[in-house]
Chain A
Amino acid sequence: MSSPHSAIVGMGRATYLRLLVFFLAPAAIVYTVFSIYPLLATIFNSLYLYHSETKSYDYVGLGNFTTLLTDTTWSVPFWNAFRNNLVFFAIHMSVQNPIGLALAAMLSLPRLRLRATYRTLIFMPTMLSVVIIGFVWQLILSPLWGIAKLFLQTFGLGFLFAPWLGQEGSALITISLISVWQFVGIPMILIYTALLAIPEELIDAATVDGLNQFQAFVWVKLPLILPTIGLVSILTFVNNFNAFDLIYAMKGALAGPNFSADIMGTLFYRTFFGNQLQLGNASMGSTIATMMFIIILIGVMTYLFVIQRRMQRYSF
């Protein structure tokens, strides 16, 4: 193969290869050590079972997966966590992303003042640590010291207040909405940048054709940013099914009451690392982690093959 690069920069083939390795190696090494190796090790772990009598790890094939999906001791918590994860995801998709879209649309209005201020303020919570977010919201919603109760009482709506974080029916929804509040900046900023990339001429043409701001958004801008909305959706999916920290920070590893806020991340943590008197179980923990990986893989694949391929792209 005659290499065009040597003609351009006057560099020998050996030098070129060395340079290639030099630039690729850091990313390749970090990615292999911190992502590929742990992933493979986890899958490998999930095929073994620890026997405390013999103190040895025995190969059991897919035995751990059978246990996880068929033994009620494991399957009930697993499907409960899966179901809660779906609710967690559904709330993000139906609340976080539409709000993100609406905020981005408003930010890109031509006559908006203080644009940068709004953008920064809305994006701020995303940069805070979840521990702080969890603590602050727990205080806001606290039935003892929280301002949520006083706020509702001011409008004569005090009867609406309940200890939302402590009730089986509302704990997960409350935490999901807190997470929405924290991360709404991400879809906003991604969609906002996509909106900025749309040429002014298209909007001008639409205006000449008699469309108002709202119609121009729905009929011209929205189709153009659909690929970005698709990207936002898949990011939300992956992040939600990997979520753990906010729920752990607010409800602990048992994610109560009665495991009503337990998602796969907390179930994995409790199983792998243990809790109070429960000892960590590396085999079953890895099995749950592998299941999470498979679920995310199926979700992402479905998106790539079913949705993204049919998406139309426009270039200007």
Chain B
Amino acid sequence: MQHLIILPVLLPLLAGVTLLIHRGGALTLRRTTNVIATAALVVVGILLVAESSDGVIRYYALGDWQPPFGIILVLDRLSALMVMLTAILALGSLLYACAGDDEQGSNFHGLFQLQLMGINGAFLTGDAFNLFVFFEVLLIASYALLMHGGGKARTHAGFHYVALNLLGSMLFLIALGVLYGTTGTLNMADMAAVIPTLDAGDVGLVKAGALLLLIVFGLKAAMLPLYFWLPRAYAAAPAPVAALFAIMTKVGVYAIIRVYTLIFGEQAGLLANLATPWVWWLALATLALGAVGVLSARDMRTQVAYLILISVGTLLAGVGMESEAALGALLYYLIHTTLVSGGMFLLVDAIAQQRGKAGARIVQSRTLGQPAILGLLFFAGAIAMAGLPPLSGAFGKALLLQAATPAQQVWLWPILLISSLASLIALSRTGSTIFWRASGERTGSSLGRLRGAGVLMLILCAPLMVAFAGPITQFTQATAAQLLDRDAYVQAIIARGATGGDA
């Protein structure tokens, strides 16, 4: 199946366009189409992971223009893993949305698929400018999805989000211009091959370009000085969209991992490991401030948004540690945190709907319609998010703590553990206020079947990831090894391109 690599882009494109054209069609039909397309994406994701697990790096040259000239999509372990993760998260939030959130506007389903196309494209592409284009695709869809349903808070948060990301896109273009002007290529593998051979005179320019890229990716990933948009935007977004956005910060993390291991990694000569010191310190600061944010949040949605911030800090600290073990650990944590925080966004919305007037605010209110089910789910989700055993959060954090060298332990251990403690305190306070300090009659509303399925699917990933921790960590460690083996990546793309193409 040579064309399998491009399916994660083509499938959502076709489904998205069809859904946009038939925006006035029967709701059931649109829902079914979207669910089928997303489920097919899960299957494609699993096939891609299976294909990539042999360790061979494959690429798909669009229009058969061989690298470094044409645009290519690259399939390695990391991109396959990310595509599968996106598809699973999307299926969960889509099921939830089909219970009624999608009726608030006519284009939800079409935009949802286009969003998936942008995310998958960003994970698969092997061309720096193409990465920009896919970033734009996913951003354009996210602008519209964020404001799905309308309302004051959403429009307002939306304008900030749009203006910031437009600035980010411009910085991205400037950075790409600088890198193209100095290296003469946009293909990431080719760029990686050119960087070590640069003249000393060009090094300063390339450094500026590379650090500009860090700002852009940091903005997407919500790294410290650039995260202020996140809590507001995520808290204002409709629940299924916020759940899907859990992968958006990871797109930034992915781009940081990809660019700073492949292009500016160990073997980049004068520019080796250029960004990692920055990433390491900023990540620790993000962790610390995220912990403060979690404790101060007065609204459940904002609280989950700050929990996402903590997870971003944890992930980026893993990137800053510059070791294979840390990369493997952070990839395990990445799978866990994406799925569980997506599930928490859905769960919090389900809880808010059963609380009547109180909504998502952390105050006393009437008893929930189904305190037992929601309480259990919240308990499981909170344990996983805070990183307590026996669920997957503890496992991921333990792996990461273990991977730290003694010099890094001094900083990482206290900050990571204290931020976990802060999330634990904040989540237990929220849980006790909502479930135990409630009084009065039960509200009538109940969790529908579809909503339940969506939440359950994502929260259940936490115990499943512990049960299958062996194979998953094997895969993530192999992924980390593959990521750090820059020469193999360059060989796989440039060498085969030279023999197979018309170059």
Say if A and B assemble together. Answer: no
User: What is A's interface to B at a CB cutoff of 8 Å?
Assistant: none
